[in-house]
Amino acid sequence: MVDYQYIYDYYSNTPHLIKWVWWVSALLAISIIVLAVYLKFIRLSLRKKSNETAKFKSEYEALLVEYLYSGDESGKLTDSQKLIINRIKDSIKTPSKRKIIVSVLYNLMNEVSGEMSDSIKTFYYETGLIYYAFERLKSKKWNIIGKGISELRRFGIDEASHVIAPFINHPKSEVRSETHLYMVNLFLFEGLSFLDNLKAPLSEWIQIQLLETLQRFDNQEICDIRPWLKSENNSVVLFALKLAQIYNQFEVKETLMDLLAHENKEIRIETIDVLAHLYGIEAKEMLKTNFNDLSLEEQISFFKLLEKLVVPDDEPFVEAYLFHKNFEIQLLALKILKEINFDKYIGFTKSSNNNKSLAMVKAVKML
Amino acid sequence: MNKKKIVLAEDNSTLSLLLKFRLEKEGYELFVATDGKEALELIESQSPDLILSDIMMPFVSGLEVISHLRNKLNLSTPIIVFSSAGQEEMVLKAFNLGANDFMGKPFSPNELVIRIKRLIGT
Amino acid sequence: MDTSSVKIILQILHYLFFGYAFAAIISYIILSFISSKETIEYIKKRSFVNYKDILSSKMSPSITIIAPAYNESLNIVENVRSLLSNHYVNYNVVIVNDGSKDDSLERLIKAYDLEKVHYIVNEKITTKPLREGIFKSKNPAFEKLMVVDKENGGKADALNMGLNISTSKYVACIDVDCLLLEDALQKMIKPFLEVTDSKVIAAGGVIRIANSCEIRGGKLIDVNLPKNLLVQSQILEYLRAFLLGRMAWSRLNGLLVISGAFGIFDKEIAIAVGGYDTNTVGEDMEIIVRMRRYMEEKGEKYKVSYIPDPLCWTEAPDTYKVFISQRNRWTRGTIETLRKHRKIGFNPKYGWFGLVSYPYWLIFERLAPIFEAIGLVYFMILIVLQEVRWDFAISFFLLAYLFSVVFSIVALYSEELTFHQYKKKGTGFKLVLLSAIEPFLLHPFVLYAAIRGNYDYYFNKKKKWGNMVRKGLVNN
Beta carbons within 8 Å of A193's beta carbon, 6+ residues apart: A183, A223
Q: Is residue A314 included in any domain, yes or no? A: yes
For A190-210, the pLDDT digits (tens) are 999 999 989 999 999 999 999
Tell me the C-alpha distance between C202 and C288, whole Å: 8
**Residue C200, beta-bridge partner list:** C303
Residue A279 lies in a domain: no
Which of C41, C52, C53, C266 is the mutation pick for testing A, counting most A CBs within 10 A? C53
ipTM score for this prediction:
0.87
How far is C415 from chain B, CA to nearest CA, in Å? 23
Contact B59 C55 (CB under 8 A): no
Interchain pair B109, A112: CB under 8 A: yes
Q: Half-sphere exposure (CA, 13 Å, Cβ side) for A34?
A: 6
pLDDT at residue B59 is higher than 50: yes
- Residue A120's nearest CA partner among A167, A162, A145, A88 is A88
Please list every residue in chain C whose beta carbon sits closer than 8 Å to the beta carbon of residue B84. 52
Q: How confident is the model at residue C468, as a pLDDT?
A: 41
- Mean pLDDT over B75-102 rounds to 87
Distance from CA of A253 to the nearest CA of B (A): 31
Residues 6+ apart with CB under 8 A from A326: A296, A299, A300
Contacts of C194 in chain A (CB under 8 A): 173, 203-205
Q: Which chains border B (3 or more CB–CB pairs < 8 Å)?
A: A, C
Every domain of chain B and the residues it spans: 4-120
Chain C residues with beta carbon closer than 8 angstroms to that of A143: 44, 47-48
CB contact under 8 A, B108 and A104: no
For the beta carbon of residue A298, count every other beta carbon within 10 angstroms: 19
Shortest Cα–Cα distance, A59 to chain B (Å): 10
Nearest CA among A364, A367, A319, A309 for reference residue A341: A319
- State pLDDT tens for residues C140-181: 778 899 999 999 999 999 999 999 999 999 999 999 889 999
Taking each helix axis from N to C end, the angle separating B13-25 and A95-109, rounded to the nearest 10 degrees, works out to: 60
Instruction: List, in sequence order, every beta strand (DSSP E) within C288-409.
Output: 302-314
Q: What's A192's DSSP letter?
A: G
Residue C403 has pLDDT above 60, yes or no: yes
Residues of C in contact with B93 (CB under 8 A): 141
Look at residue C469 and tell me whether its pLDDT is greater than 50.
Answer: no
Residue A157 placed within a domain: no
CB C388 within 8 A of CB C382: yes
Residue in chain B lying closest to A57 (CA): B14
Mutate to test the interface with C, among B35, B61, B65, B97 (most CBs of C within 10 A): B61
Alpha-carbon torsion, ordered C438, C443, C449, C450, to 10 deg: 140
Per residue, the 3-state secondary structure of A139-177, as one string, reads CCCHHHHHHHHHHHHHCCCHHHHHHHHHHHHCCCHHHHH
pLDDT band at residue C472 under the 50/70/90 scheme: very low
Q: How many interchain CB pairs under 8 A, A with B? A: 47
Check if B96 contacts A (Cβ < 8 Å): no
Q: Taking CB atoms and an 8 Å limit, are B86 and C57 in contact across chains?
A: yes
pLDDT for C188 beyond 90: yes
Residue A335 falls inside a structural domain: yes
Distance CA B46, CA B32 (A): 11
CB hemisphere CA count around C58 (13 angstroms): 8
* Mean pLDDT within B95-100: 90
| Number of folded domains that form chain A | 1
CATH H-level superfamily of B4-120:
Response regulator (3.40.50.2300)
pLDDT of residue A116: 87
pLDDT in tens, C237-247: 999 999 999 99
Q: Determine phi and psi for A233, rounding to 5 degrees.
A: -85, 110
3-class SS at A70? coil
Q: What is the pLDDT of residue C13?
A: 83
Contacts (Cβ under 8 Å, ≥6 apart) of C382: C388
Residue of chain C minimizing CA distance to A246: C59
Would you say residue C64 has pLDDT above 70? Answer: yes
B72 to chain A, minimum CA–CA distance in Å? 31
Q: Which residues of chain C does A31 touch, with a Cβ-Cβ cutoff of 8 Å? A: 406
Taking the C-alpha atoms of residue A159 and residue A137, their distance in angstroms, rounded to an integer, is: 13
Contact C227, A236 (CB under 8 A): no
Among C468, C432, C121, smallest CA distance to C323 is for C468
B105 — alpha (psi -120 to 50), left (phi > 0) or beta?
A: beta
- Is the distance from CB of C305 to CB of C202 less than 8 angstroms? yes
Range of the domain at A334: 310-367
- Say whether B59 and C56 touch across the interface (CB within 8 A): no
Neighbours of C339 (CB within 10 A): 12
Mean pLDDT confidence for C355-375: 94
Cβ contact, residue pair C55, B86, below 8 Å: yes
Check CB contact under 8 Å for C193 and A204.
Answer: yes
Mean pLDDT of chain C: 90
Interface test with B, best of C86, C88, C219, C222 (most B CBs within 10 A): C219
Would you call A208 and C59 a contact, using CB atoms and an 8 Å cutoff? Answer: yes
- Looking at residues C117-133, what average pLDDT do you find? 90
CATH code for the structural domain at C59-329 = 3.90.550.10
Is A339's pLDDT higher than 90? no
The mean pLDDT value for C316-343 works out to 95
Question: A234: pLDDT confidence band, cut at 50, 70 and 90?
Answer: very high
CA dihedral sign, ordered A63, A64, A70, A71: positive
Closest residue in B to A104 (Cα–Cα) = B14
Question: CA C208, CA C311: separation in Å to the nearest integer?
Answer: 8
pLDDT of residue A71: 80
